[in-house]
A and B are shown apart, each in its own frame.
Chain A
Amino acid sequence: MMLEKYLCVHNPRIQAVLTLFLILLFSAGPACGKVYIDIDSPSFQQFPIAVADFKPLQPFPENDKLSLLFSDTLSRGLALTGYFHLLDRKAFLEDPKQAGITADNIRFEDWTVIGAEYLVKGGFQTDGRDLVAEFRLFDVIRGELVVGKRYAGKSGDHSRMAMQFVSEILLALTGETGLFDTRIAYVKKSVSSAEIYTINFDGSDPRRITNFNALTLAPRWSPDGRFLAFTSYKEGNPDIYLRNLESGATRKIGFYPGLNLPGSWSRDSKRLLVTLSRDGNQEIYDMTVENGLLLRLTRDFSIDVSPVRSPDERRVAFVSNRNGSPQIYIMDADGANVRRLTDLGGYNTSPAWSPKGKKIAYEGLVNGIFQIFVIDAEGGDPQQLTFEAGDHESPSWSPDGRYLVYSVRGYGRSRIEIMNAGGQGTRVLLEDKETSQSPFWSPHLR
């Protein structure tokens, strides 16, 4: 009854829905529901998964909307990971009134016959503002429970609960926890200033971190998740500041004459690679944050900038123009043994070392446009990952090494985009007229 009314009112939508349905039918047909998409290995298969609408677990439910809110949020979260092929709920055969949410009252054939390998079910109960929800992931082929969780909270917590369970599903099926506990820091420029913002991995909850009304650049999240280092001109000179994200306090930690730029943290969040021009030229130093102690790593009368540590902390990649054009170099952690990594193209900058250590992402100039590349940290042929118009800049890896976030600007617009490490599955995290730039992926924050 309600469905009919809905469809009548929104006629164009029904067409869109039907089209989508047909596309799904055709695409799912010959491949038997197995869609091969490169996530980070060439033969990765997406898991076909169904998410049933949640059931109220009380005789007189107070909030019907939650039933769809839970299943929609779960579906969106699962889709964002890129690991799941979500089955259209219109194809579901199960009678929701008859079926339950435990293995003993689910007809698993109803799900295997439509191509599902996994099924998410759940229920909820409200009491005023209190909310209790149960989530269960079933392997429908084996007909058994894989993981089940029960969360208690307030009525506004439904989407956090759903995202938490998406992480549980990922952990159960891939051994990784997913990225729903990560955020992305970025710089948003206005006419006369630039401020640091952060946003959830799924594009929700953007927050302004600094409000200095000054140029503020280069956010670098500490591996313990507690601090953001950045450069700000708030007192005139480009100095390095540290924002404590718990207390909101800001402390100035690098304020030598000339440039002070943060580079890359150590795993213990105690040392920060920085670019300083205190000795008359841009050089790279390893700074102990607590006492400001400096270890100088480069000694070259050219530009040395943008240092990044290898995950094992034995090496440092950085940008130098010591041979004319800006290129990426690698040195040992003490500054010894400098060798050039990139030699194709006349402008290669912004190195980002992958968390697993094998690859370095960077931006390089191709036909006058910056594109994102990855190169083996041991050297070799670079692989171009982006090809669209507009400058693609500042790549940063997700903590699991499966995605890259980067900025795109051109034609008066700017975007922050996410793609998987192979260059596919591009998703726009945010888009605006102002220049959003320099994204930096946080560590796991929980």
Chain B
Amino acid sequence: MKRSWGSVGLMALVLCLSVSWMTGCAKKATLQEGAVVTQEQKAVAQAPAEATAADTQAARERALRDQALSDQAAREAAEKAARDAAAKAAKDAADQAKREAAAKAAAILKELQIADINFDYNKYNLKPLAQSTLKSGASAYLKYRDYKLVVEGHCDERGTAEYNLALGEKRATEAAKYLADLGIEKERIKTISYGKEMPLDNANNEAAWAKNRRAHFVIFPPVK
């Protein structure tokens, strides 16, 4: 098998060489023809009338050729314009769709966003206001079932770091349970506690503390 490939290669080489040799011959022939043409031109110069007729013919042909060429260019330009227009339209449509999708997604996110709920000092029971916030917030999650959420539990700066991590988790869990009771599947709700480590307001007063004792809701859109 190897051998036969070798012989084919050899043949191919021979073929190539012979072709190039023949091409070399052809070039010489062309040169000779060129010499003949020069002689013909001399003859043409000697006969102007014949030449005019021939010129007219050539010009007509040239015009025809030019016409054909410009027609073709115009055709191509038109085609390109049409293509561009189509592409632009498609792109515009896509952009528009994207814009609409983004607007829709933003609208959905807005619908899904639950406001922070607040807790009393050292407590994790849901106050009536928190319950009504969760009730109105849950409906969007029943509508958009491929969205998930994380409930963050936070505490104010007073008290032990570790105890507050547990307290923050209790707050998150209470809110998550309430949402689950409202019909959001448990698998769609995660909880995490940050204890007192991530206050909203660093001030050292009751107003800041009240703001910091919170459950915060983070929406997770479906992964495409």
Which residues does A use to contact B, with CB under 8 Å? 187, 189, 194, 215, 217-218, 233, 236-238, 258-259, 261, 275, 277, 280-282, 303-306, 319, 325-326, 347, 349-350, 363, 370, 391, 393-394, 437-438
Contact = CB atoms under 8 A, between A and B. Distances in A.
A281 B176 CA distance: 13
A233 B168 CA distance: 15
A194 B122 contact: no
A218 B162 contact: yes
B159 A305 contact: no
B193 interface: yes
Given A303-B166, A303-B167, A258 B122 contact: no
A218 B162 CA distance: 8
Contacts of B170: 282, 303
A217 B197 CA distance: 10
A175 to B, nearest CB: 35
B166 A394 contact: no
A437 B161 contact: yes
B194 interface: yes
B118 interface: no
Nearest to B160: A349
A303 B197 contact: no
Contacts of A370: 159
Interface residues of B, number: 19
Interface string B156-188: 001111110111011001000000000000000
Contacts of B158: 391
A346 to B, nearest CB: 8
5 contacts: A189-B197, A238-B193, A282-B166, A326-B159, A349-B162
Contact of A275 (B162, B167, B191, B192): B162
Contacts of A237: 192
B108 to A, nearest CB: 24
A261 B162 contact: yes
A373 to B, nearest CB: 13
Interface in B132-177: 158-163, 165-167, 169-170, 173
Interface in B186-224: 191-194, 197-198
Interface of B: 122, 158-163, 165-167, 169-170, 173, 191-194, 197-198
Contacts of A282: 166, 169-170
A259 B169 contact: yes
Nearest to B194: A215
User: Which 4 residue pairs across A and B have the least CB separation, nearest first?
Assistant: A349-B160, A303-B166, A282-B166, A305-B166
Contacts of A189: 197
A363 B167 contact: no
Contacts of B169: 258-259, 277, 282
B162 to A, nearest CB: 5
B188 to A, nearest CB: 14
A303 B163 CA distance: 8
Contacts of B173: 280-281
B163 A218 contact: no
A326 B161 contact: no
A305 B139 CA distance: 35
A325 B122 contact: yes
Given A258-B191, A326-B122, A218 B166 contact: no
A370 B165 CA distance: 18
A261 B165 contact: yes
B163 A305 contact: yes
B161 A438 contact: yes
A393 B157 CA distance: 12
